[in-house]
Amino acid sequence: MAAKPQILSDSDVDQTLRALLAEVLGLAPERVAGFSAETELFGALPEFDSMAVANLLTGIEERFDVLVEDSDVEAEDFATYGALIAFVGRLL
């Protein structure tokens, strides 16, 4: 019998994504904790380059137990923290 997928609260998703960003980008957790929905990411943070996007997508797959298809990903999904949260929400 297959296990039921775990349902994560918005708070769990937020905390997991913040921890993942800190890890992938090498940023202090305190800095990432201060991100708001409007905080610009890709193109605004020097640490958030194309390699970081690839590592972040791998981390999202692992931490949230989802498969990210190329067709699921748009550049706008990485523009702001709010867009990134919405992207993960769509995957879940």
Q: Is the dihedral of CA 8, 9, 11, 14 positive or negative?
A: positive
Does residue 53 sit within a domain? yes
φ and ψ at residue 80, rounded to 5 degrees: -135, 165
Does residue 2 sit within a domain? no
Domain that holds residue 56: 10-91
Does residue 30 sit within a domain? yes
Q: Which two tokens stand for residue 45?
A: 């943070």
Does residue 40 sit within a domain? yes
The tally of domains found in the chain comes to 1
Does residue 37 sit within a domain? yes
Q: Please report, for the domain that includes residue 80, its CATH number.
A: 1.10.1200.10
- The pLDDT assigned to 69 comes to 95
- For 34-69, the pLDDT digits (tens) are 999 999 999 999 999 999 999 999 999 999 999 999
Q: Which two tokens stand for residue 20?
A: 């993942």
Place of tokens 């380059």: 49
